[in-house]
Amino acid sequence: MVRAKPEPVQVVKERRDAALAALVARVPYIAFMGFEFERRGDELTAIMPYRPDLIGNPTLPALHGGALAAFLEVTAIISLGWSLIWPRMEAGESVEVMPALPKTIDITVDYLRSGLPRDAYARAEITRAGRRYASVRVEAWQDNRARPTVQAMGHFLMPELEVQP
Amino acid sequence: MTEERTKIARQFIEALPHCRALGMKLDSIGQGEAEIFMPYSEALIGDPDTGVIHGGAVSALMDTCAGASVMSHPKSGPATATIDLRIDYMRAAKPGATITAHAICYHMTRSVAFVRVSANDGTSDVPVAAATGAFTVERA
């Protein structure tokens, strides 16, 4: 028995990065806010690079709470979308046609510290993803990983996936 | 709130960098109530298939409006910060429509302000989103 030769690592990386980039590029608001996504295997880290127009309190100064809420919501939605694409891509299916993005049902944002005028990072943990509903916990931090700036818990409506014949 | 104070509040809120970036405008404010609107913009689209605005932009609008209502409350201090905000998204906003948020600071203790906010696009009595939040009360 001859085992199939594994694909070169560069080919695998390029395919995964291209799928992630295509997912993120679909949302104009992500480009507007300047959010970026980094990938390690299937794990995503979202980045909100600091920009002066993210400020909500110029006196402190502090990031706008709404910008941080948006950052967490985007991180949750992209992480959920990615969780739908990843298994299909790894199974060798085409991901040329992206599934629709999950829709937010509700999100509760906990403001733990004021947002510093610096970059912010976020990761989402999908607590449960069913066929229709998903629960996601997401946390953002800045200088210190152990001192989160904001955390959120959200519920999302999953897109209906067309079954491939 | 007098016209002069409304004018000052308008200048203050519309000058906040992130509020400016999203194009927020103050409609009215006073006695623990505020109304702020955000015109439609293609840059804020969250769903490219439908052109519906991203929930994140609506969150930012509702957070701003809630904070403004706290600051306009007669017992409020000079500043406030969000402790928590829970947002329910009831329906998609109509593409092209301006979204208006209306916030009421319905109770204030010495330390905490409680707020309810709704966001509407003017096409239905059912709001696009509704939120409840708790805010800090700073002592002067």
Dihedral angle sign, alpha carbons of residues A124, B53, B106, B126: negative
Query: Using H for helix, E for strand and C for coil, what is the string for A83-120?
Result: HHHHHHHHCCCCCCCCCCCCEEEEEEEEECCCCCCCCE
pLDDT by residue (tens digit) across A103-152?
999 999 999 999 999 999 999 999 999 999 999 999 999 999 999 999 99
Could you give the ipTM of this predicted complex? Answer: 0.94
- Plot region of A76 (φ>0 → left; ψ -120 to 50 → alpha; else → beta): alpha
- What was the pLDDT predicted at A4? 82
Closest Cβ opposite residue A56 in set B18, B45, B54: B18
- What was the pLDDT predicted at B4? 83
Please check whether residue A33 is in contact with residue A67, taking contact to mean a CB–CB distance below 8 angstroms.
Answer: yes
- Write the DSSP symbol of residue B122: S
- What was the pLDDT predicted at A98? 85
Percent of chain A past pLDDT 70, that is, above it, reads 97
pLDDT by residue (tens digit) across A22-35?
999 999 999 999 99
CATH number for the domain whose boundaries are A9-157? 3.10.129.10
**Amino acid sitting at position B81:** A
The answer for A 44-73 residues in CB contact with B (under 8 A) is 52-59, 62-67, 69-71, 73
Q: B17 and A55: CB-CB below 8 Å?
A: yes
- Helix or strand holding residue B19 (H, E): helix B17-21
Convert A150-163 to b/e letters by CB count within 10 Å (16 or more is b). bbbbbbbebbeeee
- What was the pLDDT predicted at B1? 53
Q: A74 and B54: CB-CB below 8 Å?
A: yes
And the tokens for A11? 């080919």
Domain locations along chain A: 9-157
pLDDT by residue (tens digit) across B63-96?
999 999 999 999 988 889 999 999 999 999 999 9
The answer on pLDDT for A11 being more than 70 is yes
Please check whether residue A15 is in contact with residue A85, taking contact to mean a CB–CB distance below 8 angstroms.
Answer: no
- What was the pLDDT predicted at B48? 87
On average, the pLDDT of chain A sits at: 94
- Helix or strand holding residue B129 (H, E): strand B129-136
Nearest-CA distance A47 → chain B (Å): 15
The answer on pLDDT for A156 being more than 90 is yes
Q: A105 and B89: CB-CB below 8 Å?
A: yes
- What was the pLDDT predicted at A142? 98
The answer on pLDDT for A164 being more than 60 is no
- What was the pLDDT predicted at A162? 63
On average, the pLDDT of chain B sits at: 94
Sheet strands (E) in chain A: 36-40, 43-48, 55-57, 62-63, 103-111, 120-129, 133-141, 148-157
Q: In whole angstroms, what is the distance from residue B94 CA to residue A40 CA?
A: 37
CATH topology of domain B3-136: Thiol Ester Dehydrase; Chain A (3.10.129)
pLDDT by residue (tens digit) across B10-27?
999 999 999 999 999 999
Please check whether residue A76 is in contact with residue A156, taking contact to mean a CB–CB distance below 8 angstroms.
Answer: yes
Residue with tokens 């329906």: B91
Domain locations along chain B: 3-136
User: In chain B, which residue's Cα lies nearest the Cα of A102?
Assistant: B47
Q: How confident is the model at residue A163 (pLDDT cuts 50, 70, 90)?
A: low
Closest Cβ opposite residue B60 in set A62, A66, A107: A66
